Amino acid sequence: MKNKNGFTLIELLIVITIIAIVAIVIFVALDPITKFQKARDAQRYSDVTDILDTIKLDQIDNGGSYLASVATGITAGKYYIIGTNGTTGCDTGCTAQTTEADCVDLTELITDGYLKIIPTDPKVGSTEKTAYYLMKSSTGTITIGACNPENATAIAIAQ
């Protein structure tokens, strides 16, 4: 009599197929792409809040005056990408708002010690173009928003 140790090819294929089906079901159930999008949107909301809070804190510390780039560097009612790109190239890449060609530079918040770095979009942002926008209304209200939210319809706050 032969002593059979091991599995047949059919048994191995059945087990591999069952494991593959379970892995696919778990992968689809967890939906990692949506989870990553929601995580990046949460980071965007946090960044937008941090920027606005910092601008307002600077305003309070300076007797009600905004920092120079916000007070005199932009036109009320217009949207500007936050960044250091200067006067060119800031009017592209923002799907949430139509922005001006000039960037609004908030590096004064770093030099004054309010921020270590200006936050940038977790997917496409850079120091030159953060992919966040700023708008100052004629009444002085500041709106900060994310140019390219992924899973949210819009990410913007005003104060």
Scan for tokens 């006067």, then name that residue.
87
Distance CA(21)–CA(88), nearest Å, equals 52
pLDDT at 90 (0 to 100): 82
pLDDT, tens digit, for every residue of 75-127? 999 999 999 887 777 888 899 999 999 999 999 999 999 999 999 999 998 88
Question: pLDDT averaged over the chain?
Answer: 91
Report residue 3's pLDDT band, with 50, 70 and 90 as the boundaries: low
Question: pTM for this structure?
Answer: 0.82
Distance CA(101)–CA(113), nearest Å, equals 28
pLDDT at 135 (0 to 100): 97
Question: Does pLDDT of 11 surpass 70?
Answer: yes
Nearest CA to 144 out of 91, 104, 111, 86 is that of 104
Q: Is 67 exposed, middle or buried (0-12, 13-18, 19+ CB in 10 A)?
A: buried
Report residue 1's pLDDT band, with 50, 70 and 90 as the boundaries: low
Nearest CA to 51 out of 152, 153, 123, 147 is that of 147
Report residue 32's pLDDT band, with 50, 70 and 90 as the boundaries: confident
Distance CA(159)–CA(156), nearest Å, equals 10
pLDDT at 30 (0 to 100): 83
pLDDT at 4 (0 to 100): 67
Scan for tokens 């708002």, then name that residue.
97
